[in-house]
Amino acid sequence: MMIKLLAISLGGMIGALLRYGVGGLTHRFTSGDFPYGTMLVNLTGCLVIGLLWGLFERSNFPSALRLFLFIGVLGSYTTFSSFGLETFTLFRDGEVRLGLYNILITNTLGLLLVFAGYFAVRWFLGLAK
């Protein structure tokens, strides 16, 4: 159990640093008008998780390596890649309706909850106008 936690923790540290580096580097070369860094992180994370899943799905890699890469590195780099892989798996397994639900609920409800959280704290702190 300790090896698994260590693998996830080390991977998480690497993923967070990669996210910070890619986001910062992208920001240096683009305007601040659009979240290019976040988009690049999400898209590259999706590509990498797809490549790794294709490699690992039929191979016998140690579970600590899987945890390090999938939960640690990529989980910290971007959770959007996990969302993409899970949605892909639903579609691949013929669960089209569940895949569509996952897309619709995660994106719509996620955005609504960002708004709700923002306005709730503004109201609670008396900052609502």
Read off the pLDDT of residues 53-108 as tens digits, 9 standing for 90 and up. Answer: 988 888 888 999 999 999 999 999 998 988 999 999 999 999 999 999 999 999 99
Query: Among 9-13, 34-38, 42-46, 68-72, which stretch is predicted with the lowest mean pLDDT?
Result: 34-38
Q: Please provide the average confidence, as pLDDT, over all residues in the chain.
A: 92
User: What's 103's DSSP letter?
Assistant: H
Closest CA to 24 of 41, 42, 47, 9: 41
Residues 6+ apart with CB under 8 A from 30: 36, 37
Residues 6+ apart with CB under 8 A from 19: 41, 76, 77, 78
Q: Are 59 and 74 in contact (CB under 8 A)?
A: no
Report the predicted TM-score, pTM, of the whole model to 2 decimal places.
Answer: 0.79
Give the 3-state secondary structure of residue 33: coil
